[in-house]
Amino acid sequence: MFEMSVFVTILIGLFSLINPLGALPVYIGLTQDDTEANKLATLKKTCAYILMICLVSYYLGVYLLHFFGITIPALRVAGGIIIFRSGWQLLNVTHKSELRGKIPEDGREKVDISFSPLAMPLLAGPGSMSFLITLYSNRSEMMRDALWQDVAAISAIIIVVISIYFVFKYAPRLVKYAGQAGLTSLSKVMGFIVTGIGVQMIISSLSTVVKTIFLDLHHP
């Protein structure tokens, strides 16, 4: 059956990883010379691309990894490290700062910035993609339970995309009322959550690997 705790965990984790609040300055800078109609069109396409990237990552990411010979435990460790790094950057207010220097210059040269750089890599980056791929790899083998997890995951993705739309649509007001200090504080709270998710993924993955090695040694 549908578990609200699973849904809330996915929702908070994905929103924290995408972190639209941290992307607000870049979005405002890239669209400051656009008309309101162009801003709205760009925002709608960006949200559509984010939805597509998240769904592809969730449903097809595992199979792409299998194609390249990457095991699930390796993915979980790598994903945990990426997510931990994202959380650490949020805590130190450096999240997305690596991109801010290049994105404005590259973005202004492009006619359409909705897919790149906005949707990817600014918002739906490696952290959120790894999170969704790992989530799918942990699906229950029971069809009913797996179906309910899919419902929870897709619902969370849709809500996050809708929230991105409204956060960016009212970006000037948010920056005006919350201020840079307020946005920074919220980013740090998200960073704490993201760091915990990354650590948990790494611990769970290493625990699984150690158990597998132990069983192989005692049951040749």
Can you read off the two tokens belonging to residue 4? 């609200």
Task: Render the burial of 143-152: b for 16+ CB within 10 Å, e for the rest.
Answer: eeeeebbeeb
Tens of pLDDT along 120-169? 878 898 889 989 998 888 887 777 788 888 999 999 999 999 999 999 99
Is 191 in contact with 89 (CB distance < 8 Å)?
A: yes
Number of domains in the chain: 1
Tokens 């929103």 -> residue:
15
Is 122 in contact with 99 (CB distance < 8 Å)?
A: yes
User: pTM for this structure?
Assistant: 0.81
> What's the pLDDT band for 192 if we cut at 50, 70, 90?
confident
- Domain span at residue 94? 4-218
Per the model's pLDDT, the better-predicted residue between 18 and 110 turns out to be 18
Mean pLDDT score, 42-64: 93
- The share of the chain scoring above pLDDT 70, in percent, equals 85
